[in-house]
């Protein structure tokens, strides 16, 4: 469960909640009481790829009534909202919160009839204070397009701030991409088998994989499925199993938010051949490794 903090046209930060891995919204700014409304943002598209995973958010707001906060923790004492970028003034800000579940890269884009300032910075989830020294910003003008790229770390909380150049306001479209660089699991397997006239008899199967990984072994014919989690595995239940010609022994090595490993032994002519592939995060469909 991720948390979502909100601001309405009257005021400061409030408490809301929103399910998901990525983007969370805090409404438009002002100088008054806590926000109480709740708004579900559009869902994130999560195409699976072997190299990375991308989540995308699109949101549109009218910022004409937005302001800049003189106290971001109101009604408690707090600092004023930091605005502007590279000497360009900014007003009428809206904020979004983001809680990355893995290290990655964010790309922020805006579309409006006026110039916009985009900024991202981590904030302390206990004090709610932004870490302004780590603030990164960019300006997008109607005549000179600009985008903002920033690296983010898993487990940290981030604020995304959008505002109008020289306090311009109106309809503002926000596009946000979160790209996670997925790690690839390293796994190896060794099959020892006795040749038979119609296939092979398994003598031993050993699999080496990261400790946190789940290792699942299946046969198209000739054995029962097994699954274990450990660094070095032996599958005693396979000992003596007869795998007929034309069958296959399949090994799936998977872990959350990581590219999995797939190893297949194809049985034929009283022998076997070994094939290795990758598994996209969250998938058990083998594909070529990039």
Q: Give the pLDDT confidence of 125-150 residue by residue, as tens digits.
A: 999 999 999 999 999 998 888 999 99
Of 219, 215, 226, 284, nearest to 253 (Cα)? Answer: 215
Q: Please give the model's pTM, rounded to 2 decimal places.
A: 0.59
- SS3 of 213-251: CEEEEEECCCCCCEEEECCEEECHHHCCCEEECCCEEEE
- The structural domains of the chain, ordered by start, are 2-181 (no CATH), 183-287 (2.60.40)
So what's the pLDDT on residue 187? 94
Query: What are the tens digits of pLDDT across the range 146-193?
Result: 999 999 998 999 999 999 999 999 999 999 999 887 888 999 999 999
Q: What is the pLDDT of residue 29?
A: 39
Find the mean pLDDT for residues 53-68.
90
């Amino acid at each position: 469960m991720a948390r979502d903090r909100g601001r309405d046209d009257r005021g400061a930060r409030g408490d809301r909640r929103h399910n998901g891995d990525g983007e969370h919204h805090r409404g438009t700014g002002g100088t008054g009481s806590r926000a109480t409304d709740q708004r579900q943002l559009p869902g994130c598209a999560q195409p699976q790829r072997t190299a990375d995973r991308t989540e995308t958010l699109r949101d549109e707001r009218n910022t004409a009534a937005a302001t800049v906060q003189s106290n971001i923790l109101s009604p408690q004492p707090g600092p004023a909202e930091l605005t502007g970028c590279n000497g360009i003034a900014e007003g009428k800000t809206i904020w979004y919160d983001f809680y990355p579940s893995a290290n990655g890269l964010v790309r922020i884009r805006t579309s409006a009839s006026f110039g916009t300032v985009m900024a991202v910075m981590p904030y302390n989830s206990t004090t709610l204070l932004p870490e302004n020294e780590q603030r990164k910003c960019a300006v997008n003008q109607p005549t000179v397009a600009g985008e903002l790229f920033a690296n983010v770390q898993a487990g940290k909380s981030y604020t995304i701030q959008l505002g109008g150049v020289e306090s311009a306001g109106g309809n503002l479209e926000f596009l946000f991409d979160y790209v996670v660089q997925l790690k690839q699991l390293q796994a190896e397997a060794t099959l020892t088998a006795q040749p038979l006239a119609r296939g092979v008899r398994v003598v031993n199967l050993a699999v080496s994989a990261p400790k946190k990984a789940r290792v699942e072994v299946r046969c198209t014919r000739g054995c029962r499925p097994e699954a274990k989690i450990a660094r070095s595995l032996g599958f005693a239940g396979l000992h003596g199993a007869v795998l007929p010609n034309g069958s296959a022994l399949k090994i799936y090595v998977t872990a959350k938010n990581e590219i999995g490993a797939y190893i297949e032994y194809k049985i034929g002519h009283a022998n076997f051949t070994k094939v290795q592939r990758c598994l996209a995060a969250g998938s058990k469909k083998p594909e070529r490794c990039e």
